[in-house]
Chains A and B, each alone.
Chain A
Amino acid sequence: DSGVTQTPKHLITATGQRVTLRCSPRSGDLSVYWYQQSLDQGLQFLIQYYNGEERAKGNILERFSAQQFPDLHSELNLSSLELGDSALYFCASSFRTDTQYFGPGTRLTVL
């Protein structure tokens, strides 16, 4: 158990819908990262927050947004969902920018 929790574990929704994925980092970690893993794109870095502030932005679509709250948990919002958004979404946390600890992931299926 990495200490990082993600909810929900599975999510099935329809095209055009909006969903929110939640991540709670390990106690004491200030950084939260979001990743997308799909069969055709591999592992892709989406976005990083550090102590509530956005620190780095990767291949995150404009339809996606994220935030980190004062209690350091983070949410990833995916809107206007398309079939191609079906993937495993991982959250990770670290104290600063060092060793990352991953959550179990949320499997999103868009029908």
Chain B
Amino acid sequence: GIQVEQSPPDLILQEGANSTLRCNFSDSVNNLQWFHQNPWGQLINLFYIPSGTKQNGRLSATTVATERYSLLYISSSQTTDSGVYFCAAVESSGTYKYIFGTGTRLKVLA
């Protein structure tokens, strides 16, 4: 089955800094999503992005399906951005199974 790898595993930023999180997947996908889990455990969907680029405020994401990776950009980071960022992919073979990466743990310092 598909493998999903995220990097870096941990990231510490000063408030106001920018960052790029990466998600690599081992096979072609027809579904790729980014999620944020805040320090209280709540999971929030950030982007549904099987291909192309999307932006939502200070966050944007790009998926290059042909090269099997997706990037999540966080600009002007705030302390509320802290938490764990997961990407999840569904391979194109039709199994419909979601495979999660191990996440990037982000801490933004005031």
Contacts and interface: CB of A to CB of B under 8 A. Distances in A.
Nearest to B31: A97
Range, interface on chain A: 20 to 34
Interface residues of B, number: 20
A100 interface: yes
B48 A99 contact: yes
A47 to B, nearest CB: 10
Interface string A77-111: 00000000000101010000111111011000000
Contacts of B95: 56
B18 interface: no
A64 interface: no
A16 interface: no
A98 B100 contact: no
Contacts of B31: 97
A59 to B, nearest CB: 9
16 contacts: A33-B98, A42-B102, A45-B98, A48-B96, A48-B98, A55-B96, A56-B97, A57-B97, A58-B97, A88-B41, A97-B31, A97-B90, A98-B48, A102-B35, A104-B41, A104-B42
